[in-house]
């Protein structure tokens, strides 16, 4: 597990315990932030130095302080921050939040040990993300395209099928151009036993396991493990992306559990709480996780992150989704209404946005008509939504034929385009063609976002003619 | 004082805050070097013989007892040729050079690289009028360097220096450290170099602060026409996530009619910075046909970089802005986002165990924001030749939950004259820029009206447009209950015209290459067309024509197409054609 060093210092000089904080008489050379192990009755609890002066070191232990006895329990100072072993052999394996194997397989032979906190990418060396990732899910690929180097979260709610969507993405995601190495790093934080079992079963049954590394810290895991998991997963992802030129997509679920752990630790430290009890530094903390996404000029690989979180009470202004939205490059919002209508994946297209999509679609990326098709689908769906509301006030009788066409369009758009089988993989072409099929329900003069050339080339009506002529 | 006297030891480490002992005679805001790696810190409080130091780099791994060296200097910026086109971190370290020096894709701490390149030679041309024996004063321009095709960098006598010219350099190619003059005063001599140092927390002096006289054209219609900002003005852009703060700031730095643009990314995204950098290299300044990078400076302290440096990013940006203002330029500086800076203040204050104010922010939040915004302004600069410069500032604010009643927004409104409230509802409806016309305001109307009224009937049209938009908001409640068809014809017309104002005028996509930048003349033409349509519509109503029929007029869509034309195309005929269409449409309709 942890990288044992020769320089471990130990002391029994604990003189106070409060909550999860230990006050230890300082011995020389304690480093700020270093990893600590407290030995209680033969078992050990991990901790970290969160404040140190000439007289006192304050140690935050991750987990329960039960059994810790001043003057008796031994505190070991490791001399460094948490590091994990990394290796290419991690592909195909399943680990816990501190990178210990939990799939019954052997320990991996490390190629390197890395600090899980990583370092900030140099902003001047970044290049803007611009190549699409095909998730095989129409509503994402067509309307909310994910690009390599982006961080795009899913905002879900309890009981909504975000885990199934996550697994579908793990199964299906690929980049264009088959010679490139694409891998998925999957991290599950604080998930229930049932969820963990589901993930394990899915991951094992998937043919994709050899290009996947999974990390799972169930709800019963210690707070430290839950807080470490996203960083462990991303450190592994970075190793694969920057050392092995791989395109890595990291999926992290459920980041709400992570934020809860953060809140718990902050309360234990008796910090002044910020909004709704979450620590004031939560923005920065989450940013140090999500900002690990990106591309750089000198490396072939890329880091893409798709965090999944459940919005408490479906409230998008809750600090967890709110701060996430302030960090990520857009969001995919799931809707309870759509789910009730039986749509999977139940995405609310209006509240969702992929901010980096514009750079990742079009000719040589997805297909030349993507941009226009996208704008037209969104504006038609918006018009239909407006008409739905209007017809709720004035009734459907007073709607014109045109208006009724729009309502039909919206229905079909939801049921055929957005709605998709959990095991159905659609390519970009299939998704875009399906989009055209939806648009063909509308009178041609309504398709104002589409240029005549594009219309002639892609509208099913003209395509059929072409086929007919052949 | 010898350097031995000035060394202390770390007593305590708590995140970005460290406490040092034994730093005798240390000053407030003095820069110190912490630990073996010499991490940069700044003294932010002195209590007894303990100095509280805010460290601008990651502190993990530091040990009690490591040394702390005082430098005797406040945190200062290097100001001279080489600023333009740079990308700095919050401590003015050039990030590209850091990358080259470390050979790493990551920012490593403790790296020391000069802010201005020491090797590059700049072509210096002295000002002929300045001769040996002349008396010179702060701000006097003694030489010029053509830094980029867009920027002539003026080499000035630094603030605080005056005397007789004892020696002066001839024209030549010099590095920034090269002396260009020696100024003697009594028995003291001062070597004027190609660059100067200035403490970033201290406003640079000027001769006189002046009232604004003309607008700073941003190229964004809703700002320029409805809520104009003046050169030297101060504006806040608050809004929830995804409402368009960053896009607005980027557009302003790209298109505004300023000589120098400074973009400060403070606690925000790395991908955004690289997107801005890339587009500034590609895009051409529409007024001068050169890449925008040739007049821009970037400061990038992303959200995952040390939080304490968010504060220095903002003050560094404004100091560089003042320096170019002092040359007599119109400078625009944007800061994205001031909330992240405020949060950093909150974190440090918490560690200092200061009494928390509202929502945990320190009591000095407000005065710190004032120190920043008050440095904007239009001035007569120090020195000769007489010149005027301006520094216009835009700060993004990111309130939690998009709620404007929180401390950072509330403190900021006290110091800004323009308030551009971004609206979540507009953004989800993809109405961009999502500037809410009912909540936003500008206090510069009186200062810019002469400029605008020369172009059009601005005062009147602006008034009418705002009234129509206001009326639409009132009517929308009724419409929600009974549907639009139940309204009287006059009100239906108001809805129709306000829709035109919103869609054909206010909406302006930053992604559209033609419309991203809209010069004031174009704004005036589109508004003129809408107002003409409105005038004739009202007349038509009096003749019994219904709004349903007005809605179908084909000139309506011609008006909608106006924004997709450049000003030149509009002027070359499109505008006249639209106006004619409107008139003939109504002629047909009314039948006279
Ligand atoms: N003027 C505009 N024209 C076109 N699209 C825009 C405009 N402004 C914003 N957008 C759209 O909204 C998205 C979000 O805008 P932006 O990144 O500026 O938000 P923000 O307010 O800075 O959000 P955050 O607080 O999360 O940083 C953009 O990616 C773009 O799709
Ligand atoms: Mg932004």
pLDDT digits (tens, 9 = 90+) for B310-345: 999 999 999 999 999 999 999 999 999 999 999 999
Question: How many CB pairs below 8 A link A and B?
Answer: 189
The yes-or-no verdict on residue A264 having pLDDT over 70 is yes
Asked whether residue A338 is assigned to any structural domain, the reply reads yes
The yes-or-no verdict on residue B76 having pLDDT over 70 is yes
CATH number at residue A434: 1.10.1140
Give the count of domains, chain A.
Answer: 3
CB neighbours (10 Å) of residue A5? 12
CATH number at residue B26: 2.40.30.20
For atom 18 of ligand 1, which residue has the closest CA?
Answer: B244
Residues A161, A37 share a domain: no
Residues B488, B352 share a domain: no
CATH number at residue A59: 2.40.30.20
Answer with the one of A19, A48, A81 that is the final residue of a domain: A81
- In tens, the pLDDT along A153-210 reads 999 999 999 999 999 998 888 776 666 788 999 999 999 989 988 988 888 887 667 7
Closest atom of ligand 1 relative to the B247 alpha carbon:
18
B399 vs A contacts (CB less than 8 Å): none
ipTM exceeding the 0.85 mark: yes
Record: contact A54-B65, CB cut-off 8 A: yes
Domain limits for position B554: 458-590
Asked whether residue B485 is assigned to any structural domain, the reply reads yes
Q: Name the nearest CA neighbour of A293 among A128, A89, A155, A85.
A: A128
Mapped onto helix, strand or coil, the DSSP state of residue B346 is helix
Which of A153-157, A442-446, B155-159, B168-172 has the weakest average pLDDT? Answer: A442-446
CATH number at residue B507: 1.10.1140.10
For atom 29 of ligand 1, which residue has the closest CA?
Answer: A355
Question: CA angle, A135 as apex, A129 and A136 as ends, to 5°?
Answer: 140
* Closest residue to B11, CB basis, from A54, A287, A378: A54
Asked whether residue A2 is assigned to any structural domain, the reply reads no
Answer with the one of A324, A359, A394 that is the final residue of a domain: A359
Give A 257-296 residues with CB within 8 A of chain B. Answer: 271-275, 280-281, 283-284, 287-288, 291-294, 296
Residues B470, B432 share a domain: no
* Averaged confidence pLDDT in chain B: 94
Which residues are registered as beta bridge partners of B94?
Answer: B88
Asked whether residue B188 is assigned to any structural domain, the reply reads no
What is the bridge-based pairing of β-strands A74-77 and A9-11? Answer: antiparallel
Rg, C-alpha atoms of chain A:
25
Answer whether A237's CB lies under 8 Å from A250's CB.
Answer: yes
The yes-or-no verdict on residue A277 having pLDDT over 60 is yes
Record: contact B483-A393, CB cut-off 8 A: yes
Residue B154 CA to residue B175 CA, distance in Å, equals 15
Query: Which token pair is B144?
Result: 């010029």
Q: Name the nearest CA neighbour of A215 among A50, A313, A131, A98.
A: A98
Asked whether residue A21 is assigned to any structural domain, the reply reads yes
E strands, A277-354, where? 302-310, 330-333, 353-354
Residues B353, B501 share a domain: no
Record: contact A273-B360, CB cut-off 8 A: yes
CATH number at residue A147: 3.40.50.12240
Once rounded to an integer, what is the mean pLDDT over residues A354-376? 95
Residues B483, B424 share a domain: no
Give how far A9 is from chain B: nearest CA, Å: 14
The yes-or-no verdict on residue B2 having pLDDT over 50 is no
**Is the CB of B250 within 6 Å of ligand 1?**
no
Q: What pTM was estimated for this model as a whole?
A: 0.95
Predicted local distance difference test score (pLDDT) of residue B1: 41
Give how far B109 is from chain A: nearest CA, Å: 9
Answer whether A312's CB lies under 8 Å from A318's CB.
Answer: yes
Asked whether residue B162 is assigned to any structural domain, the reply reads no
Residues B494, B405 share a domain: no
Predicted local distance difference test score (pLDDT) of residue A223: 85
B13 vs A contacts (CB less than 8 Å): 32, 51-53
Residue B244 C-alpha to ligand 1 middle, in angstroms?
3
Give the count of domains, chain B.
Answer: 3
Rounded percentage of chain A residues whose pLDDT exceeds 90: 69
Task: Please report, for residues B13, B142, B377, the alpha-carbon distance to residue B76 in angstroms, rounded to integers and kept in the order given.
Answer: 25, 23, 21
- In tens, the pLDDT along A406-424 reads 999 999 999 999 999 999 9
Asked whether residue A61 is assigned to any structural domain, the reply reads yes
- In tens, the pLDDT along A96-139 reads 999 999 999 999 999 999 999 999 999 999 999 999 999 999 99
Record: contact A291-B343, CB cut-off 8 A: no
Mapped onto helix, strand or coil, the DSSP state of residue B151 is strand
Asked whether residue A405 is assigned to any structural domain, the reply reads yes
Asked whether residue B332 is assigned to any structural domain, the reply reads yes
Residues B362, B467 share a domain: no
Sign of CA dihedral B41, B42, B45, B48: positive
The yes-or-no verdict on residue A3 having pLDDT over 70 is no
Answer with the one of B409, B444, B479 that is the final residue of a domain: B444
- In tens, the pLDDT along A8-23 reads 888 889 999 987 889 9
| Helix, strand and coil in chain A, % to nearest 5 | 40, 25, 40
* Closest residue to A31, CB basis, from B63, B275, B356: B63
Which residues are registered as beta bridge partners of A18?
Answer: A21
Residue A123 C-alpha to ligand 2 middle, in angstroms?
16
Residue B382 CA to residue A347 CA, distance in Å, equals 59
* Averaged confidence pLDDT in chain A: 91
**DSSP class of B160:** T
Predicted local distance difference test score (pLDDT) of residue B115: 97
Rounded percentage of chain B residues whose pLDDT exceeds 70: 99
CB neighbours (10 Å) of residue A470? 5
Record: contact A121-B275, CB cut-off 8 A: no
Domain limits for position A297: 84-359
Which residues are registered as beta bridge partners of A330?
Answer: A354
Residue A277 CA to residue A264 CA, distance in Å, equals 9
Answer with the one of A334, A359, A384 that is the final residue of a domain: A359
Number of residues that make up chain B: 592
CB neighbours (10 Å) of residue B24? 12
Instruction: Tell me the pLDDT band of B3, cut-offs 50, 70 and 90.
Output: very low
Record: contact A291-B278, CB cut-off 8 A: no
The yes-or-no verdict on residue A273 having pLDDT over 90 is no
Residue B257 CA to residue B518 CA, distance in Å, equals 11
Residue B308 CA to residue B44 CA, distance in Å, equals 11
Give A 386-415 residues with CB within 8 A of chain B. Answer: 390, 393-394
The yes-or-no verdict on residue B425 having pLDDT over 90 is yes
**Is the CB of B238 within 6 Å of ligand 1?**
no
Residue B239 C-alpha to ligand 2 middle, in angstroms?
9
Residues A460, A319 share a domain: no
- For residues B515, B520, B523 and B524, what is the CA-based torsion angle, rounded to 10 degrees? -150
- In tens, the pLDDT along B263-300 reads 999 999 999 999 999 999 999 988 888 999 999 999 99
- In tens, the pLDDT along B153-167 reads 999 999 999 999 999
Mapped onto helix, strand or coil, the DSSP state of residue B443 is coil
Once rounded to an integer, what is the mean pLDDT over residues B367-386? 97
Residues B473, B549 share a domain: yes
CATH number at residue B419: 3.40.50.300
Rg, C-alpha atoms of chain B:
27
Asked whether residue A105 is assigned to any structural domain, the reply reads yes
Which residues are registered as beta bridge partners of A121?
Answer: B106
Residues B358, B319 share a domain: yes
């Amino acid at each position: 597990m942890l990288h044992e060093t020769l320089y471990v210092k130990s002391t029994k000089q604990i003189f106070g315990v409060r909550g999860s904080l230990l006050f230890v008489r300082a011995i020389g050379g304690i480093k700020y932030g270093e990893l600590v192990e407290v030995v209680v009755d033969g078992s050990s609890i991990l901790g970290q130095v969160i404040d140190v002066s000439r007289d006192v070191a304050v140690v935050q232990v991750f987990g329960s302080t039960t059994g810790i006895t001043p003057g008796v329990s031994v505190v070991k100072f490791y001399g460094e921050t948490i590091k994990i072993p990394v290796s290419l052999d991690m592909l195909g394996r399943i680990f816990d939040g501190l990178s210990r194997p939990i799939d019954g397989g052997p320990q991996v032979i490390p190629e390197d040990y890395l600090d899980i906190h990583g370092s900030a990418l140099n902003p001047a060396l970044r290049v803007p993300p611009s190549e699409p990732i095909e998730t095989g899910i129409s509503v994402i690929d067509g309307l909310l395209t994910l690009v390599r180097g982006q961080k795009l979260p899913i905002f879900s709610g309890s009981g909504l099928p975000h885990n199934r969507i996550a697994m579908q993405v793990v199964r299906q995601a690929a980049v264009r151009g088959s010679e490139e190495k694409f891998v998925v790093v999957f991290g599950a934080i604080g998930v229930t036993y049932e969820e963990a079992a589901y993930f394990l079963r899915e991951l094992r049954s998937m043919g994709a396991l050899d290009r996947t590394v999974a990390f799972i810290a169930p709800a019963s895991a210690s707070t430290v493990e839950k807080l470490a998991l996203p960083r462990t997963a991303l450190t592994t992802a970075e190793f694969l992306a920057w050392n092995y030129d791989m395109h890595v997509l990291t999926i992290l679920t459920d980041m709400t559990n992570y934020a809860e752990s953060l809140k718990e630790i902050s309360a234990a430290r008796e910090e002044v709480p910020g909004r709704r009890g979450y620590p004031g530094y939560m923005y920065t903390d989450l940013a140090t996780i999500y900002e690990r996404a990106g591309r750089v000029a000198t490396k072939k690989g890329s880091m893409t992150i798709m965090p999944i979180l459940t919005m408490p009470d479906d409230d998008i202004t809750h600090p967890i989704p709110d701060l996430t939205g302030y960090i990520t490059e857009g969001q995919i919002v799931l809707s309870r209404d759509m789910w009730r209508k039986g749509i999977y994946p139940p995405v609310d297209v209006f509240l969702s946005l992929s901010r980096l999509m514009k750079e990742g679609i079009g000719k040589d990326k997805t297909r030349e008509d993507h941009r226009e098709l996208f704008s037209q689908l969104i504006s038609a769906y918006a018009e239909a939504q407006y008409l739905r509301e209007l017809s709720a006030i004035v009734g459907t009788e007073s709607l014109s034929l045109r208006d009724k066409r729009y309502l039909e369009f919206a229905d079909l758009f939801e049921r055929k385009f957005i709605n998709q089988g959990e095991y159905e993989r659609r390519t970009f072409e299939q998704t875009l063609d399906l989009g055209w099929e939806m648009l063909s329900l509308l009178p041609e003069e309504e398709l104002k976002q589409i240029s005549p050339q594009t219309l002639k080339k892609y509208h099913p009506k003209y395509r059929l003619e072409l086929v007919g002529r052949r | 004082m010898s350097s031995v006297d000035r060394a202390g030891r770390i007593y305590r480490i708590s995140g970005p805050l460290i406490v040092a002992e034994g730093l005798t005679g240390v000053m407030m805001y003095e820069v110190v070097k912490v630990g073996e790696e010499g991490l940069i810190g700044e003294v932010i409080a002195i209590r007894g013989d303990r100095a509280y130091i805010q460290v601008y780099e990651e502190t993990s791994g530091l040990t009690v007892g490591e040394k702390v060296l005082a430098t005797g200097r406040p945190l200062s910026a290097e100001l001279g040729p080489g600023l333009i086109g740079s990308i700095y971190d919050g401590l003015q370290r050039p990030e590209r050079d850091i990358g080259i020096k470390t050979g790493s894709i990551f920012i490593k701490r403790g790296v020391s690289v000069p802010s201005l390149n020491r090797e590059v030679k700049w072509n210096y041309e002295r000002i002929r009028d300045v001769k040996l024996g002349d008396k010179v004063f702060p701000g006097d321009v003694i030489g010029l360097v053509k830094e980029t095709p867009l920027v002539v960098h003026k080499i000035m006598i630094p603030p605080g220096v005056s005397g007789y010219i004892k020696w002066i350099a001839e024209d030549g190619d010099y590095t920034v450290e090269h002396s260009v003059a020696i100024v003697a005063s009594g028995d003291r001599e001062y070597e004027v170099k190609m660059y100067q140092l200035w403490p970033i927390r201290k406003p640079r002096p000027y001769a006189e602060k002046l009232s604004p006289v003309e607008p700073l054209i941003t190229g964004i219609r809703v700002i320029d026409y409805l809520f104009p900002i003046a050169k030297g003005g101060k504006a806040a852009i608050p809004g929830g996530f995804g409402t368009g703060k960053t896009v607005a700031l980027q557009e302003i730095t790209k298109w505004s009619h300023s000589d120098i643009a400074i973009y400060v990314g403070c606690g925000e995204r790395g991908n955004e910075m690289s997107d801005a950098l890339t587009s500034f290299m590609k895009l051409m300044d529409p007024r001068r046909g050169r890449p925008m990078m040739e007049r821009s400076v970037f400061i990038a302290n992303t959200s995952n970089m040390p939080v304490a440096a968010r504060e220095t990013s903002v003050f560094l940006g404004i100091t560089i802005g003042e320096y170019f203002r002092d040359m007599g330029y119109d400078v625009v500086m944007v800061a994205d986002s001031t909330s992240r800076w405020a949060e950093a203040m909150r974190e440090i204050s918490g560690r200092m165990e200061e009494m928390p104010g509202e929502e945990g922010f320190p009591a000095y939040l407000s005065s710190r924001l004032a120190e920043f915004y008050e440095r904007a302004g239009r001035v007569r600069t120090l020195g000769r030749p007489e010149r005027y410069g301006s520094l216009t500032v835009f700060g993004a604010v990111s309130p939690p939950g998009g709620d404007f009643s929180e401390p950072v927004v509330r403190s900021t409104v006290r110091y800004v004259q323009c308030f551009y409230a971004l609206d979540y509802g507009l953004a989800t409806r993809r109405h961009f820029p999502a500037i809410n016309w009912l909540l936003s305001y500008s206090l510069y109307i009186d200062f810019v009206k002469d400029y605008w009224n020369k172009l059009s009937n601005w005062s009147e049209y602006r008034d009418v447009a705002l009234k129509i938009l206001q009326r639409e908001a009132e009517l929308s409640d009724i419409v929600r209950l009974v549907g639009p068809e139940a309204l009287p014809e006059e009100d239906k017309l108001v809805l129709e015209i306000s829709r035109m104002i919103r869609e054909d005028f206010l909406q302006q996509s930053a992604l559209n290459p033609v419309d991203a930048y809209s010069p004031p003349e174009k704004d005036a033409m589109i508004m003129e067309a809408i107002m003409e349509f409105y005038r004739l519509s009202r007349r038509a109503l009096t003749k019994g024509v219904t709004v349903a029929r007005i809605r179908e007029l084909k000139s309506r869509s011609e008006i909608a197409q106006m924004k997709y034309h450049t000003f030149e195309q509009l002027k070359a005929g499109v505008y006249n054609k639209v106006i004619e269409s409107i008139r003939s449409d109504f002629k047909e309709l009314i039948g006279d």
